Amino acid sequence: MIYDYKAFTRQGKAAKGTIEAINAKEARDKLRDMQLIVSSLEPQKKGKKRLQLSRDDLRIFTSQLAQLLAAQIPLYESLLALEEQARQEPYHPVILGLTDRIKRGSSLSQAMQDFSESFSPLYRALISAGEAVGNLELALSRLNNFLVHDNKIRKQLISALIYPALLSGLLVVAITVLVGFVIPSLEQLFEDKNTPQFTKLVFGAAKFLREWGILVVGAFIGLLVYGFYRIRQPKTKASIQRNILHIPLINRYVILAALSRFARTLGTLLEGGLPLTVSLAYAKEALGNARLNEIMLRVEQRIIEGIPFSTELSRYKEMPPLFSRMVLIGEESGKLSSMLNQLATLYEEETERTLTRVVALAQPVMLLLMGGLIGGVLLAILMPLSSFGSSIQI
């Protein structure tokens, strides 16, 4: 159970936080071991979200634990040091739970199974491999490198999408101003005039949006909610992931991004000492695409039957020729993990270039759309004004 506590330190300073324990007595014992005097201890309400490590917290935890183990500090003492450092953090119960389980005799990978929200199967698999070969520090170091690369790609993607998002926001603002303020102020001017059909169409659309805009927005939001719900359904999600591989330009980015994650993950697992078939079982989850996942599942089955990894990869059109060739070189040289990491670096750079091209293409499209809408409204206004000016001159 998770308990919320309020306490005082031996120096009289107030402290509060959360702690995990089987019951209240164990929670008080744990807090007493932490040199805290408990003033309030309440179980968290049912349904309250379980605390967990965020992506950045996980990366920092992994890096710090690797450094402590590299300094020849035993695992329990290393975790204890991190637990003391994290007492004011929201994820403190996770570190405390790990420390407690290690104290009871569990391995680190076993302890992490109770905190699957924070530690993925891939993470736990590499920790288990490090424990099997007696080099947990190296496993954590490789995990840290993997997390750093993953966060870098994620941040690049977010940064690339900021500008198109801003342009979309400006487009919505421009349409709102035109429909809500500009066009209504001009409608009376053209009320009894013989205006062109295009002007009538634009003014009619603006009037419709003013009168039914709330319903239109509501329907749009409803479609978005329904769309998000449908996307979360496994069958719909898998169908979208398969079909997206047929869209030019976007499919290249999806495949490169998926293979860069896959190669980095597989290379890290192989370096950690796991056999190829076991590594593939975990690494294919990093692909994030149903079709590519199916391919790797078939590849895994064929490897068990004795077919070389590179030979089976070359059978699928979704796999770039360079990928299977590099894997073949890695197999022949006995340096498959090193070759996969090189592939991951190569594809990460190519993914970044592809994303830059996609965003560069999206920007003029958004600008043309904005210019077309605003220019269309201005044209609808200028056309009758020019005809009125001509009649006045005559």
Q: For 191-227, write each residue's pLDDT tens digit.
A: 666 777 777 787 787 777 777 878 877 888 888 888 8
Domains 58-149 and 150-388 share a fold: yes
Selection from 190, 215, 193, 212 nearest residue 203 by Cα:
190
Cα dihedral angle (380, 386, 387, 388), rounded to 10 degrees?
110
Rounded distance, CA 61 to CA 162, Å? 29
pLDDT band at 392 (very low <50, low <70, confident <90, very high): very low
Residue type for 77, please? E
37-86 pLDDT per residue, tens: 888 888 876 544 456 788 889 999 999 999 999 888 999 999 988 988 88
283-299 pLDDT per residue, tens: 887 787 888 888 999 99
Q: Three-state SS for 47? A: coil
What does the DSSP assignment read for 2-44?
EEEEEEEETTS-EEEEEEE-SSHHHHHHHHHHTTEEEEEEEEP
Q: Are 380 and 199 in contact (CB under 8 A)?
A: yes
CB atoms within 10 A of CB 278: 16
Give the pLDDT score at 261. 82
Q: Are 93 and 168 in contact (CB under 8 A)?
A: no
pTM over 0.75, yes/no = no
Would you give the end-to-end CA distance of the chain in angstroms? 88
Phi-psi region of 194 (alpha: psi -120 to 50; beta: other; left: phi over 0): beta
Domain ranges in the chain are 2-43, 58-149, 150-388
The CATH number of the structural domain formed by 58-149 is 1.20.81.30
171-to-213, 218, 316 alpha-carbon distances in Å:
16, 19, 42
Give the pLDDT score at 46. 53
Mean pLDDT of 338-365: 81
What does the DSSP assignment read for 325-349?
HHHHHHHHHT-HHHHHHHHHHHHHH
CATH of 150-388 given 3.40.50.720, 1.10.10.10, 1.20.81.30, 3.30.565.10: 1.20.81.30
Helix (H) or strand (E) holding 263: helix 250-271
Q: Answer whether residue 124 shows pLDDT above 80.
A: yes
Which tokens is 235 given?
Answer: 């069958």
Give the pLDDT score at 50. 52
Q: State what percent of residues in the chain have pLDDT above 90.
A: 6
Let me know the angle formed at the C-alpha of 140 by 135 and 146, rounded to the nearest 5 degrees: 130
Give the pLDDT score at 68. 92
Give the pLDDT score at 64. 92
